[in-house]
Chain A
Amino acid sequence: MLHLGSQLTLNQRAVFALILLAAVSGALAPRSVAHPNPPSDAPQVTFNRDIAPIMFRSCAQCHRQGEAAPFSLLTYANAKKHARQIADVTRSRAMPPWLPEPQVLKFADELRLSDTEIKLIANWVEQGEVEGSPADLPAEPKYVEGWRLGKPDLILTATKPLVLPPQGTDTYWNFIFPVPINTTRWVKAIEIRPGDKRYVHHANILVDRAGASRKREAQPGAGFGGMEIRIESQVFDPDSHLLFWKPGTVPSVEPDGMALRLDKGTDLILNTHLQPSGKPEIIQPSIGIYFTSHAATKFPMLLQMENDAKLDIPAGEKNFVVTDDFTLPIDVDLMAIYPHAHYLGKDIQAYATLPDGTRQTLIHIPQWNLNWQAVYRYAEPVRLPKGTTVSLRYSYDNSDDNPLNPNHPPARVVAGNRSSDEMCHLWLQVLPVNFDPAQGDPRMALQEALARHNVEKNPGDFEAHYNLAAMLQSKNNLDGAISEYTVAVKLRPEDAAGNNALGAALVAAGHPEQAVTYLQAALKSRPDYFDAHYNLGIALASGEDFSGAARQFEQALKLQPQDANVEANLGAALAESGQLAAAKAHFEHALQIDPNQALAKENLEALKKEMEAH
């Protein structure tokens, strides 16, 4: 029975009467363990035989000491203490928390009670919660205490805990975990320990390979806020794994060959969703990493479908629908799916239309609830052949009838990062199959197709063009990259990253003189932009303005002092402008940092000869 205030519907009145009846019978008969005259006609249900197996399989992951739920359900005494609650929440399917409808493509670890199980629980409560014969009680499941997969190879703990205040709206906080490794390592499993499982609603890990997130912290180790974060990457190195935690999650070990790569300098960003509990809480998460010596031989990719640009939801609109359709250019196996919207999301669907026209539901969540968002792993990978169209169809309720609407009264809502904004994202973990490695990385075809799709969808979108350009550049299609970067820069003439990227591409394509204007524009917008200084130095040197180049490399060096490449290039520019002694010092410096720096080595040799000759 849901407690929705004083308006009870017909169904609920009937249920209320039923419980009242049971209460009456209970009150007037002596309370004993075995109820002599159960009011219902159903066969007798006992905890030991019928209910305990349900508790053990579907509830105890969270409903036990040290886990996310506020009370345990491992024993008869505990279950009886919460009996009415259990009957209510299972009847409404509020518990166990599982949003998707049942479907043909089964998910692993589906947390859903059958109608029979729900009826058993209802009858058990109605009959007065009979304990039953001890012989019937199954053995309690064995749980691994502490780290589920044993002692991790590496344990990272958040530098600075977050103090969650007693009251207020949901908090979204990001913790940065630098990974202290000196060489590339392969990860077969990660366990996320959010700190206090009762107050962290969910958490996921993003891999930051470029140190981009550190800039968002006020001080190193402080963390930073935000519901979602974007991580920019310079090279084609797409996200590959969905690293997610929600209450009850048990860490899984990647199948052989699908390890996650971490490099020296990689940061792991733990993005957490927290809810105030009524008293201050200290949240200090940690991450356990398990390495394998087996390098990855299979490379999954997160295909990130979205249609945020269509999110412009009028205040009061009850059924705002957003769709998107993307056709796969290669064969893939779909491993896991992660739909995402904010508080207005209502009916969330994704389906695949195969080349032969058949349609498969990939996921259907009729009543979205951000509080219970999750990554859903398929029990078996789903083969989606080339030519399959993956579609998303999300509806949003921006009316006052949506109790989770963050705006009172309702207001216009567009896409964004705040909880009062909306999102329309569908992430699919896919593994390319049936490809010829000699033809190149199949993920590039996938990513390029998606980037082109986004440009078609949003021709006026800077990021769409920028991302397509970056894709083309990573395939060495420099003309294509330059063309797309040029559109991007026209759309945002003052964007530092766009200007720098266009300049760099022009330099790479052999047009340094054209590059200079853009690189200068990048530096006007962002004077401490290391890459732009470096690229401008290269461009000027190519155009034989060596003193100009030297000034740029000096700026770059100030920003990144221990960079052998910058030292070497600076030395070269100084040498070309006749400052031999200064050049020599920088070459030597470069070789101190990196004894194998080729430019410095060659030039130092040449310089020494030149200096000896004089």
Chain B
Amino acid sequence: MPWGKFPLRLLVLVAALCAPSSVALSQEAALDLEGHSVNPLKESNKPVVLVFLRRDCPVSARYAPVIQQISKKYENDANFYLVYPDQADTAQQIRSYLSAYGYSLPALRDRAHSLVKLSRVQITPEVAVFGRNHQLVYEGRIDNWYVDLSRARSAPTTHELEDAIRAATAGKPVAHNEVRGVGCYISDLN
């Protein structure tokens, strides 16, 4: 491994990852489906849940009922947004997807990956939970339903998203603030 060549560049990126998440978004913000800029963290003082999805990801698809059930259960505790980071997705395509899967949550397009970078997610479906102070409390998988791409349990035995929402609501920390999910990589991750 050519560690000798790139130590400086590596250090820079690692340093960037360790910095506390900033509230300020990069220049191209996320857009709602009508094309307006939206900063989900500034919409209210409640905790915020961002759910990152790919339209061509069967794992994201299978989670649709679970995401809807959790968002209904905690509708008074947090604001939920579906986030589509794929640059090729159009608003029309996203609307069709929402309709097919019966979603009634607000959806955002994150083509410049400002929310992706803020949340540090890598996979769909993954979620990011922000506390009242807009700090990132948790990012990663919804639960441990999937072991790997070819094996799903009959039922999950851990529930990281729900745990994180309750922790954020109570202002408490979570046991693990980052648990990678199983699913499809977000395209063009940097």
Contacts and interface: CB of A to CB of B under 8 A. Distances in A.
Q: How large is the interface on B (under 10, 10 to 19, 20 to 34, 35 or more residues)?
A: 35 or more
A34 interface: no
Contacts of A23: 13, 189-190
B187 A81 contact: yes
A369 B151 contact: yes
A138 B157 CA distance: 47
B65 A278 contact: yes
A277 B61 contact: yes
Interface in A9-33: 14, 17-18, 20-21, 23-28
A408 B155 contact: yes
Contacts of A70: 56-58
Contacts of B95: none
Contact of B64 (A14, A40, A41, A166): A166
A5 B141 contact: yes
A71 interface: yes
A354 interface: no
Contacts of A406: 154
Given A279-B61, A279-B100, A403-B153, A6 B176 contact: yes
A6 B157 contact: no
Contacts of B178: 6
A279 B96 CA distance: 13
B64 A27 contact: no
A82 B13 CA distance: 23
Contacts of B140: 6
Interface string B172-189: 000010111111110101
B68 to A, nearest CB: 9
B63 interface: yes
Contacts, number: 113
Interface in A424-483: none
Interface string A159-176: 000000011010000000
Interface stretch (B3-11, B21-29, B34-42, B161-169): B3-11
B101 interface: yes
A369 B62 CA distance: 19
B149 A94 contact: yes
B190 to A, nearest CB: 5
A606 B140 CA distance: 89
A276 interface: yes
Q: Chain A's interface: helix, strand, loop or mixed, by majority?
A: loop
Contacts of A276: 62
Nearest to A198: B58
Given A24-B10, A28-B9, A84-B185, A403 B147 contact: yes
B64 to A, nearest CB: 4
Contacts of A24: 6, 9-10, 12-13
Given A4-B147, A23-B190, A70-B57, A278 B13 contact: no
Contact of B190 (A4, A21, A26): A26
Given A81-B187, A279-B102, A403-B151, A3 B58 contact: no
Given A4-B147, A167-B66, A404 B153 contact: yes
Interface string B113-157: 000000000010000000000000000110010011111011101
A300 B174 CA distance: 62
B185 A5 contact: no
A416 interface: no
A92 B179 contact: no
A240 to B, nearest CB: 32
A3 B154 contact: no
A323 interface: no
Contact of B123 (A3, A5, A14, A89): A3
A278 B148 contact: no
A27 B153 CA distance: 37
B125 to A, nearest CB: 10
Nearest to B147: A403
Interface string A55-78: 000000000000000110000000
A144 interface: no
Nearest to A97: B150
A406 B151 CA distance: 12
Nearest to B182: A3
Contact of B2 (A39, A198, A278): A39
Contacts of A39: 2, 5-6
B1 interface: yes
A92 B12 CA distance: 31
A605 B149 CA distance: 75
A5 B189 contact: no
A404 B154 contact: yes
A404 B156 CA distance: 10
Contacts of A14: 1
A18 B1 contact: yes
Nearest to B123: A3
Contacts of B183: 3
Contacts of A89: 149
Contacts of B57: 70
Interface string B86-109: 001000000000001110000000
A8 to B, nearest CB: 8
Contacts of B179: 5-6
Nearest to B11: A24
Contacts of B150: 94, 97, 369, 371-372
B157 A92 contact: no
Given A3-B180, A5-B141, A5-B179, A278 B10 contact: no
A2 interface: yes
Contacts of B185: 82, 84-85, 88
A18 B179 CA distance: 20
Given A70-B57, A92-B148, A279-B64, A408 B102 contact: no
A84 B54 CA distance: 15
Given A6-B140, A275-B62, 16 more contacts: A2-B148, A3-B181, A4-B180, A6-B178, A23-B13, A23-B189, A23-B190, A25-B6, A26-B190, A95-B149, A97-B150, A277-B62, A278-B64, A279-B100, A279-B101, A404-B153
13 contacts: A2-B148, A6-B140, A27-B13, A70-B56, A97-B150, A169-B154, A198-B58, A371-B150, A404-B147, A404-B151, A406-B154, A408-B154, A408-B155
Interface of B: 1-2, 5-6, 9-10, 12-13, 56-58, 60-66, 88, 100-102, 123, 140-141, 144, 147-151, 153-155, 157, 176, 178-185, 187, 189-190
Interface of A: 2-6, 14, 17-18, 20-21, 23-28, 39-41, 70-71, 81-82, 84-85, 88-89, 92, 94-95, 97, 166-167, 169, 198, 275-279, 343, 369, 371-372, 403-406, 408
